[in-house]
């Protein structure tokens, strides 16, 4: 891995190798996007080649901004890189922090900017097979039930978002 991401080391924001940030559980910047059609969210199944949580279902997309890249620019870039989706309006919802074990001795400790992106069911995509193996639309209440019933099929951060932050992310659409 040669990706450098913004992470805090000794209280100072600095460039850190992405894998190192996850190995050491360093607090680092991230973005998460939920593409929505009413109360339905487009979720993705992560490609099997991902170095953590391969094959798990996650929100529409998430990643770490490059050094000096704004969160909104990062969200737009990643929607295009992972899913081939462009032209959506991003609605910033909140910045939250979480820490989660993602397996293999790796930890996500993220300060994440959350965005909603309104869309319609006829949205088209072009999946990058190195990043995403599948997508599907699911109603938020159904997703919340699925995550509770089968947590090992979903990324830890998606479970955290739905369990602890649903009201602030989804507002009146919240499944809670």
- The three-point CA angle 159-23-12 to 5° equals 95
101 vs 155: CA distance, rounded Å: 10
Q: Where are the beta strands (DSSP E) in the chain?
A: 4-9, 12-17, 27-37, 40-46, 57-58, 61-63, 91-103, 106-118, 132-139
- Residues serving a catalytic function are 62, 110
Query: Tell me, what's the pLDDT at 13?
Result: 94
pLDDT tens figures, 81-126: 999 999 999 999 999 999 999 999 999 999 999 999 999 989 999 9
Nearest-5° Cα angle at 143, 139 to 146: 140
Q: Is the pLDDT of residue 1 over 60?
A: no
Parallel/antiparallel/unpaired status of strands 106-118 and 27-37: parallel
What does the pLDDT look like over 138-151, one tens digit per residue?
999 999 999 999 99
How high does pLDDT run on average in the chain? 94
Domains and CATH numbers, the chain: 4-166 (3.90.79.10)
The CA-atom distances, in angstroms, between 162 and each of 70, 95, 131, 136 are 25, 15, 23, 17
Tokens of residue 135, six digits? 């997508």
pLDDT of residue 152: 96
Q: Read off the pLDDT of each residue in 26-34 and give the average, rounded to a whole number.
A: 97
- Dist. CA 163–CA 176, nearest whole Å: 8
- pLDDT surpasses 90 at 172: no
Per-residue pLDDT, 174: 67
């Amino acid at each position: 891995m040669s990706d450098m991401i913004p992470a805090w080391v000794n209280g100072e924001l600095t460039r850190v190798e992405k894998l190192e940030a996850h190995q050491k559980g360093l607090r680092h910047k991230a973005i998460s996007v939920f593409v929505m059609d009413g109360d339905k969210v487009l979720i993705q199944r992560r490609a099997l080649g991902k170095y953590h949580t391969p094959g798990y279902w996650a929100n529409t997309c998430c990643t770490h901004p490059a050094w000096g890249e704004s969160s909104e620019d990062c969200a737009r870039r990643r929607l295009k890189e992972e899913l081939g989706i462009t032209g959506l309006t991003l609605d910033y919802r909140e910045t939250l922090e979480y820490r989660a074990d993602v397996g293999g001795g790796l930890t996500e400790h993220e300060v994440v900017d959350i965005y909603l992106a309104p869309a319609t069911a006829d949205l088209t995509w072009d999946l990058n097979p190195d990043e995403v193996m599948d997508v599907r639309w699911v109603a938020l209440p159904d997703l919340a039930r699925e995550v509770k019933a089968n947590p090992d099929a979903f990324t830890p951060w998606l479970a955290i978002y739905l369990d602890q932050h649903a009201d602030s992310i989804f507002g009146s659409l919240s499944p809670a």
